[in-house]
């Protein structure tokens, strides 16, 4: 009897009498902050040509990645390669080597009509000399890219063109004026409105304040900065230091290479592009 009692008591001492722990439901992972979309990726981008029997390296293996919402200023002395780089980004010239993606498009693989569609749909251009069509009014110049793209009624074309011209600050009574009747600052506003016509992700500007006075130059800079703040990637080639002062990233070029990149951090969601093995080249 005693032995039996001790056996039971001993068994009880081995029991875990603590209350059961309730299983906590798994907490769903909290989503992190949304990363800005990468719109421009260049890897080892180069452009060379021959002049007087010598190979000139206009752009020499530059690499970078930019996102929506960034305002980038490319600076450097004349002949440093900054305008050539802008033409490469815009598909206006072909790189000799390297890789380039603009808003997900592999620019090197484009040909013929594909290049034209790419520029109309993905890019907006702003030039120093405006490049407006003299025989068209301001309104018609802005409507033209949309007409070429197609898919809009005439009423919609007019409404969007008027809206864009108002957005860049051109008075309503100037919308029907031809370029010859507009000041340099007004013409550049029309050019910016035209660049926005097809709602591109990337704006490329070549010396946009070069042919306007200082007052209008400041207004043009404000407009370009606002476009970046609205979610576009704005890349400006310039000698104008006042543009560099408000840029998010300042790239200095020299002899076709990137000398410095102030405030540049490569986006963590940008992927490096595979590059083909290149043979040695003359320098």
List pLDDT tens digits, range 85-100: 999 999 999 999 999 9
54-67/38-51 β-pairing: antiparallel
Q: What is the pTM of this model?
A: 0.82
Contact 197, 164 (CB under 8 A): yes
CB-count burial class (<10 Å; 0-12, 13-18, 19+) for 210:
middle
List pLDDT tens digits, range 219-262: 999 999 999 999 999 999 998 888 999 999 999 999 999 999 99
Helix residue ranges per DSSP H, the chain: 2-13, 82-89, 113-122, 138-149, 154-167, 184-195, 214-229, 241-246
List pLDDT tens digits, range 115-148: 888 998 899 999 988 999 999 999 999 999 999 9
d(C-alpha 93, C-alpha 84), whole Å: 8
Is CATH 3.40.50.300 what the domain over 69-96+109-262 is classified as, yes or no?
A: yes
d(C-alpha 21, C-alpha 24), whole Å: 9
71-75/233-237 β-pairing: parallel
Contact 43, 102 (CB under 8 A): no
The DSSP line for 158-226 is: HHHHHHHHHHTT--GGGTT--GGGS-HHHHHHHHHHHHTTT--SEEEEESTTTTS-HHHHHHHHHHHHH
201: nearest Cα among 170, 162, 230? 230
Residue identified by tokens 């072909």 is: 94
Distances (CA, A) of 228 to 21, 105, 107, 174, 241: 54, 20, 22, 26, 18
Confidence of residue 21 (pLDDT cuts 50, 70, 90): low
d(C-alpha 204, C-alpha 235), whole Å: 5
Q: Where are the domains of the chain?
A: 69-96+109-262
Confidence of residue 272 (pLDDT cuts 50, 70, 90): low
Which residues are paired to 73 by β-bridges?
236, 250
């Amino acid at each position: 009897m005693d032995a039996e009692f001790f056996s039971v008591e001993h068994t009880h001492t081995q029991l875990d009498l603590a209350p059961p722990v309730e299983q906590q439901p798994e907490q769903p992972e909290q989503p992190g902050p949304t990363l800005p979309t990468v719109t421009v990726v260049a890897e080892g981008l180069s452009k060379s040509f021959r002049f007087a029997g010598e190979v000139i390296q206009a752009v020499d293996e530059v690499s970078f990645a930019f996102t929506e919402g960034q305002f980038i200023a490319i600076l450097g002395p004349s002949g440093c390669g900054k305008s050539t780089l802008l033409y490469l980004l815009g598909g206006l010239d072909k790189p000799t080597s390297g890789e380039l993606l603009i808003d997900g498009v592999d620019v090197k693989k484009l040909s013929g009509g594909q290049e034209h569609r790419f520029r109309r749909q993905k890019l907006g251009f702003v030039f120093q000399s405006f490049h407006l069509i003299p025989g068209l009014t301001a309104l018609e110049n802005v409507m033209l890219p949309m007409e070429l793209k197609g898919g809009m009624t005439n009423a919609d074309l007019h409404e969007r063109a008027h809206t864009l011209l108002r957005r860049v600050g051109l008075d309503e009574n100037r919308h029907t004026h031809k370029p010859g009747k507009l000041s340099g600052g007004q013409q550049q506003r029309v050019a910016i409105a035209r660049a926005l016509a097809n709602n591109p992700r990337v704006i490329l500007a070549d010396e946009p304040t070069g042919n306007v006075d200082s007052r209008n130059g400041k207004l043009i800079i404000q407009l370009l900065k606002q476009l970046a703040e609205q979610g576009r990637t704005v890349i400006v080639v310039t000698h104008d230091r006042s543009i560099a002062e408000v840029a998010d990233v300042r790239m200095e070029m020299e002899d076709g290479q990137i000398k410095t990149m102030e405030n540049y951090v490569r986006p963590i969601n940008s992927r490096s592009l595979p590059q083909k093995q290149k043979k040695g080249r003359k320098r």
